Structures are given as structure tokens and as C-alpha cells.
A and B are shown apart, each in its own frame.
Chain A
Amino acid sequence: DSGVTQTPKHLITATGQRVTLRCSPRSGDLSVYWYQQSLDQGLQFLIQYYNGEERAKGNILERFSAQQFPDLHSELNLSSLELGDSALYFCASSVGVQSYNEQFFGPGTRLTVL
């Protein structure tokens, strides 16, 4: 158990809908990272927050947004969903802001868009 929790574990929704994925980092970790894992693209970095502020942005679509709250949990919002958004979404946390700090991954949320 990494100490990182993600809810829900599975999500099935329809095209055009909006969903929110939630992540609680390990106790004491200030950084939260979001990744998308798909069969064709592999593991893609989406966005990083550190202590409530956005610190790095990757291949995140404009339809996607995230935030980190004062209690350090984070949410990833996906809107106007398309079939291609079906993937496993991971959250990871680490102590510091540098990406080379060990990242602890949650179990993921599997999103299926029908």
C-alpha cells in the first residue's frame, strides 16, 4: 500500500459527460501528479501541483483541469468526454516539488467512456 488513495476505482460514463477523479496523497507529501495510462500512449504526465499551486503541465487537454485543495487532496476534472479518454488515470505524490523525488502511486481510476 503506497498510502495514496484514489476514488473511484472504476468509472463508466458516456461521451460528452463530465467526471471528477479524486486523489489523496500520502501524509506529508505536498506534490501531487496526475498521469494517464493507455495502451497506445503508455504513461503520460498530465499535471503537477505542489502545495496548492500548479507547477508543471504536460500533455493535458483543455477539456481536462485539476486543482489541489488546502488539505492537499487533488481532483482531476474531465469534461466533454470522448471515447479516446478511456484510460487508467493515476495519481502520485511526493515530498518535494522536484520530479526526481520518489513518486508514490495510487492504484488508479479506470475510466471507460461508452
Chain B
Amino acid sequence: AQSVTQPDIHITVSEGASLELRCNYSYGATPYLFWYVQSPGQGLQLLLKYFSGDTLVQGIKGFEAEFKRSQSSFNLRKPSVHWSDAAEYFCAVGPNSGNTPLVFGKGTRLSVIA
């Protein structure tokens, strides 16, 4: 069965520091991969997605993620974190065809300190 693991429940970084959030997946076929962000009191918003092609994908708000098939990973990165990036981040995996539901990781909560 497909699954997504986000090993870090909570991460704290200083404003201006770089960020990497980890995501590992288990999927039987070539998956589609997503990162969503949930700000406090809000619904989830898509940051970026990987379907195929270049394994480094760019998203909104200055985020990027790299797909590494050999490591079954899709880590999210940002070179310089802003206080407004404090939120919960969810990695998700889905099928490349059909409408099998997305499977979400349990999320990583990001805190940003001055």
C-alpha cells in the first residue's frame, strides 16, 4: 500500500536560514508527488508538484523540491526562510492515472524564530 513518511514532526529554524523538509514515499508505480502548506486556521494550499521530467521542481513562495527515485524521496527546500513561512507542511503521493486518492503524510510543523 502506498504511504508517505515525514520523519520530522516539528522543525524550528531562524529567519533567513535555509530549510529542508523531508518526505519519503512508498508507492508501487511511478507516483505523482505534491507538497501542500497549511497556514494556521486555513485550508491546504498546493506549493508544488512533480509529475515527470526535471527532478527539481519550482513552486510558489520560493520553494523547490527534488525528486530522488533511488531514495524514494521528495524533499522540500527553501534557501532563506521568512517568518510568514511558519505553517504545517504536507507531502502527498498520488497515482499518475485514474483517481486513486492522494495519500498525505502526517505533516511537519515549521516554526520560525527571529
Q: Which residues of A contact B (CB under 8 A)?
A: 2, 4, 33, 42-43, 45, 48, 50, 55-56, 58, 90, 92, 97-100, 102-108
Chain B minimum-CB-distance residue to A9 = B41
Count B-side interface residues using an 8 Å CB cutoff.
25
Instruction: Kindly provide the distance from the CB of A106 to the nearest chain B CB, expressed in whole angstroms.
Output: 5
Interface assignment of B56: CB less than 8 Å from any CB of chain A: no
Q: Say yes or no: A99-B101 contact (C-beta < 8 A), given A42-B106, A42-B107, A43-B90.
A: yes
CB-based contact B96/A100 at 8 Å = yes
Can you name the residue of chain A whose Cβ is closest to the Cβ of B106?
A42
Q: Are B49 and A102 in contact (CB under 8 A)?
A: yes
Assess the B99–A106 pair: CB atoms within 8 A.
Answer: no
B101 touches A105 (CB 8 A): no
Nearest CB of B to A43, in Å: 4
| Residues of B contacting A97 in the complex (Cβ-Cβ under 8 angstroms) | 99
Q: Which residues of B contact A56 (CB under 8 A)?
A: 99-101
Docked complex Cα distance between A60 and B95 (Å): 20
Q: Cα distance A107–B42 when bound, in Å? A: 5
**Residue from B49, B51, B99 in contact with A48 in the complex, judged by beta carbons closer than 8 Å:** B99
Verify if B70 is at the interface (C-beta below 8 Å from A).
no
Smallest beta-carbon distance B21→chain A, Å? 15
Chain B residues whose CB sits within 8 angstroms of the CB of A99 once the complex forms: 94-95, 98-102
Contact B94 A100 (CB under 8 A): yes
